[in-house]
Amino acid sequence: MAVRALLKPWAPVCRDNTRRNSGQAAGYCVELVRKRDYEGFLCTLLLPQESQNSVFALRALNVELSQVKDSVSQKSLGLMRMQFWRDAVQDIYKETPPHHPVALALSQAVQRHRLTKRWFMRMIDAREQNLDDRTYRNIQELETYAENTQSSLLYLILETLGIKDVQADHAASHIGKAQGIITCMRAVPYHSSRRQVFLPIDICMLHRASQEDFIRGSLEKNVKDVIFDIASQAHVHLEHAYLSDTRMDNQPQTCARSFKKRIPKSAFPAFNITMFLKTLIEDKKIIWINYHNYIKETLKDISV
C-alpha cells in the first residue's frame, strides 16, 4: 500500500464505469506510446485491429518501465516503482488491477489473449536490475538484457496475434536482441551528455576506445570501429531472423528478403519493427551518422 501511495501523484486514476475506464485507459496508452515510442506506435497501427489496443497496452508498459531509471533521483525510488508494476501484474492475473490506466488496459489484454505472466515478470526484473548504472561487460550481457526486455515484449505481441510457435519465438528472440543493441547505440549521445557510457567494455577494449573518447565526442577510427562492431552484431541477429529469397534477386534489396518460410505468415505483423532496424543498420550506417551529427552540434555549442 505504501508503494501505491507514493505513486499516486504520477499515476492518473480512472474511477468511472468499466466501459469508460477501458476507453480512457486505451486512449492513455495510445498517447503515451505515440509520444515516447513513435516507431512502436507506427508499427502497432499496422497490426490487425483486434490486437491494436492490447499491443498499445504492452508498449505503454514498456515505456513506463524504461522511464523509471531516468525519472528518479535515487535507486530506492526506482525499486519502489518497479515493485508497483510487479504487484500490478500479480493483481491483474487475480482480476483486481490497480486504478492505473496502463494496468487497466493490460488487464483487458491479459483477459482477451491469455498472455503469459512470465514475460511480464522478466521485463520488470531486467529493468530493475538495470537501475544500477553499470556498463555491460561484454556484448553477451547486452544481448541478455535485450532478450529479457525487447524479446519478451515481442513474445507478448505474438500472443496477442494468437501465435504460439517455436520458429516465430526464435525470430522474436533475435529481433529483440537486435533492437536492444541498436537502442543502446542510439542512446550514446544522450548518455554521453550525462557523462555515461554503456557500450560493451570488451568491444571498447578491443579497439582501445575509452569511455572518455565517447564523452568527449571523439571521431577517431577506434570509436567508429566500436560502433561498427556493435552494429554488426545487431545485423547478425537480423540475419538469423531473415532468409534471402532467391526468386526475388532482380528486386531491390529491401524487397528481396523475407522471413524464414517456417515462420507463420500471421506472425509477420509482430515484426514490423524490423523495417526501422534494417534501415538503421544497413542504410549508410545511420547510427554512426547520428552520432557524428551530435558531436558536430556539441562542438558548435562549445565554440559559441
- Better pLDDT: 102 or 16: 102
**What local confidence, expressed as pLDDT, does residue 194 receive?**
86
Q: Say whether both 81 and 147 belong to one domain.
A: no
**What local confidence, expressed as pLDDT, does residue 233 receive?**
94
Kindly state the average pLDDT of the residues 90-106. Answer: 96
For residue 1, name the pLDDT band (cuts at 50, 70, 90): very low
**What local confidence, expressed as pLDDT, does residue 215 receive?**
86
Kindly state the average pLDDT of the residues 181-200. Answer: 90
Q: Say whether both 1 and 108 belong to one domain.
A: yes
Examine the fold and report which residue of 115, 132, 149 is the final residue of a domain before the chain moves on.
132
Q: Say whether both 150 and 254 belong to one domain.
A: yes
Range of the domain at 62: 1-132
Average pLDDT, the chain: 84
- Better pLDDT: 263 or 81: 81
Q: Say whether both 113 and 75 belong to one domain.
A: yes
CA torsion 186→77→116→28, rounded to 10°?
A: -70
Q: Say whether both 49 and 144 belong to one domain.
A: no
Q: Say whether both 106 and 59 belong to one domain.
A: yes
**pTM of the predicted model over 0.75:** yes
Distance CA 204, CA 210 (A): 7
CATH of residue 295's domain is: 1.10.600.10
User: Three cell numbers at 276?
Assistant: 526501422
Kindly state the average pLDDT of the residues 110-132. Answer: 97
Q: Say whether both 155 and 286 belong to one domain.
A: yes
* Nearest CA among 146, 145, 61 for reference residue 110: 61
Q: Say whether both 149 and 282 belong to one domain.
A: yes
Q: Say whether both 34 and 173 belong to one domain.
A: no
Look at the block and give the residue holding cell 532496424: 277
**What local confidence, expressed as pLDDT, does residue 77 receive?**
95
**What local confidence, expressed as pLDDT, does residue 140 receive?**
97
Q: Is pLDDT of 242 > 80? A: no
Examine the fold and report which residue of 83, 116, 132 is the final residue of a domain before the chain moves on.
132
Examine the fold and report which residue of 117, 132, 147 is the final residue of a domain before the chain moves on.
132
Distance CA 56, CA 22 (A): 13
Distance CA 130, CA 119 (A): 17
Q: Is pLDDT of 20 > 70? A: no
Kindly state the average pLDDT of the residues 150-170. Answer: 96
Domain count, the chain: 2
Q: Say whether both 5 and 122 belong to one domain.
A: yes
Q: Say whether both 191 and 273 belong to one domain.
A: yes
What pLDDT, in 10s, does the model give residues 260-282? 667 888 999 999 998 888 777 76
Q: Say whether both 61 and 3 belong to one domain.
A: yes
Q: Is pLDDT of 289 > 80? A: no
